[in-house]
Amino acid sequence: MTAILGMQFHRKYRTIGRSLVMNSSAMAKANLSKPRDPVKAAVLDERQRISRELHDRVLQLLSTARLRVERCAGQLSDGSDELKAELQSVEANLDRAVTEIRNLLSENQLDEQLQAGSLERRLRDELEIFSARAGFKVDFQCAIGAHNLPMPIERELYFTLREGVLNAIRHSRATEMRLALTQGRNACEARLSDNGVGFVVSAAESSSHYGLKGMRERIRKIGGELTIQSAPGKGTDIHISVPLS
């Protein structure tokens, strides 16, 4: 049974990785017929190379290592609870490593697809997909017009909010989620809230599960500020403010 589960894990991530690389490669081929800036073309080619390396080498090695650890855990005799717990911790770390690589491949693909003025459409489309799969109600309001934001701000807002939504899906057990984007004369703001189980912010920021550090770094990169309010049983509220002047 352990071997079967391990092979299912291996096939799952092998398929996901191959799909992301193939989709990204297909987009690159489709773009060959269009005039390309040499610098952008070089960047795209390098991204494709890194994606292939991550899939063909690193992802496969991690999946194999995870399978072998799982087999070792299944062969331990009774009375080895401490060692079993340690191996389970190793399995969990390998799972997280595979997930991080999968996210990097996915982000690489999404980054190539991003276009100026597409922030509202992309967020709305993804929220509809996520809410249908996870079964929560979503209220999305966007008062930012198309092409009103510089592309670097659009990009970092998109990936930050996407990560916030995914965190809520993975951890919050929320039934309702609200995302509102507004734009004033000197700044744009985003507020993402849910009615989930909440968490201790200081503890979560030191955990790789939540990715809050990466979210803060993205917003800081565009001169903005991200604040988080949450507590066990109180839901979560994420506020982002980015200056436009």
Mean pLDDT by 10 residues, the chain (245 residues): 44 44 44 58 74 75 84 79 85 79 67 67 90 91 85 90 89 94 94 96 73 88 96 96 92
- For 183, the domain range is 119-243
| 3 state SS of 109 | helix
Q: Which of 98, 113, 128 is the C-terminal boundary of a domain?
A: 113
Q: Which of 61, 91, 113 is the C-terminal boundary of a domain?
A: 113
Q: What is the CA radius of gyration of the chain?
A: 20
Residues 23 and 128 in one domain: no
The packing angle between helices 81-113 and 60-75, to 10°, is 160
pLDDT at 28: 44
Residues 224 and 239 in one domain: yes
Residues 164 and 216 in one domain: yes
pLDDT at 209: 54
Residues 14 and 106 in one domain: yes
| CA pair distance 128, 143, nearest whole angstrom | 18
**Largest pairwise CA distance in the chain:** 67
Q: 202 near 174, Cβ under 8 Å?
A: no
Go through 163-202 and write b for each residue having 16 or more CB atoms within 10 A of its CB, e for each that does not. Answer: bbbebbbebbebeebebebebeeebbbbbbbbbbbbbeee
Q: What is the pTM of this model?
A: 0.60
pLDDT at 118: 77
| 3 state SS of 16 | helix
Residues 155 and 222 in one domain: yes
pLDDT at 51: 72
User: Nearest 5°: phi and psi at 43?
Assistant: -65, -45
